[in-house]
């Protein structure tokens, strides 16, 4: 029973790590993105192939330069834990709103994060990530359905309500 309970705890911690990653990307928080990787980790994100920790500043700067908003949704994960190592396959959909001249586009990207993780000193971190592209589409945005409503606007910074709500 103790082994099963530990696996549940480890599974929860890995899922929380994956959620921290997407929050960091969507809020433009390079530190948070980098925090999910070991120092010597690697990340293969298509156009970026390099150190995982360095991916944090890279992706947040790149997205800030060409998107107005991003939203990453995590779907199911298959997590296979063996003591202090794990493999995770997590399905995701990424939405990017970008301007090109006077036009606005919505880029959608569906794929999977394939992660190898290790636990050191009780903390799970990614040692290797490969992003697999399963599909992608782009659509021109003709309007914004809820833009006229009085919703709190999302911010790509630590000034977002997710960080400041008290």
List pLDDT tens digits, range 65-79.
Answer: 999 999 999 999 999
Answer whether residue 6 shows pLDDT above 80: yes
- For residue 147, the model assigns a pLDDT of 65
Residue 61 burial (C-beta neighbours within 10 Å; 0-12, 13-18, 19+): exposed
Read off the tokens for 93: 């959909």
Q: Does domain 2-144 have CATH number 3.10.450.50?
A: yes
Could you report the per-residue pLDDT of 120-152, keeping only the tens digit for each? Answer: 999 999 999 999 999 999 999 987 776 667 888
- For residue 1, the model assigns a pLDDT of 65
Percent of the chain with pLDDT over 70: 98
Q: Residue 114: name the closest of 128, 95, 125 by CA.
A: 128
The answer to whether 100 and 70 are in contact (CB under 8 A) is no
Name the pTM for this structure: 0.93
Domain boundaries, the chain: 2-144
User: How high does pLDDT run on average in the chain?
Assistant: 95
Cβ-Cβ contacts under 8 Å for 3 (sequence gap 6 or more): none
**Cα 134 to the chain's mean position, in Å?**
16
């Amino acid at each position: 029973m103790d082994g099963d309970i530990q696996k549940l705890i480890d599974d929860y911690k890995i899922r929380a790590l994956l959620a921290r990653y997407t929050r960091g990307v969507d809020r433009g928080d390079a530190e948070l993105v980098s925090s999910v990787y070991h120092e010597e980790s690697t990340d293969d994100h298509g156009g970026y192939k390099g150190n995982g920790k360095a991916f944090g500043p890279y992706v947040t700067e790149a997205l800030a330069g060409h998107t107005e908003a991003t939203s990453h949704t995590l779907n199911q994960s298959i997590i296979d834990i063996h003591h202090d190592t794990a493999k995770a396959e997590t399905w995701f959909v990424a939405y990017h709103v970008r301007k090109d001249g006077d036009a606005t586009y919505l880029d959608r990207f569906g794929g999977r994060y394939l992660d190898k993780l290790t636990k050191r000193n009780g903390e799970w971190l990614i040692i290797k990530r490969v992003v697999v592209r399963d599909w992608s589409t782009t659509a021109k945005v003709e309007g914004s359905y809820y833009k006229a409503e009085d919703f709190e606007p999302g911010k790509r910074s630590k000034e977002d309500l997710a960080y400041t709500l008290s």
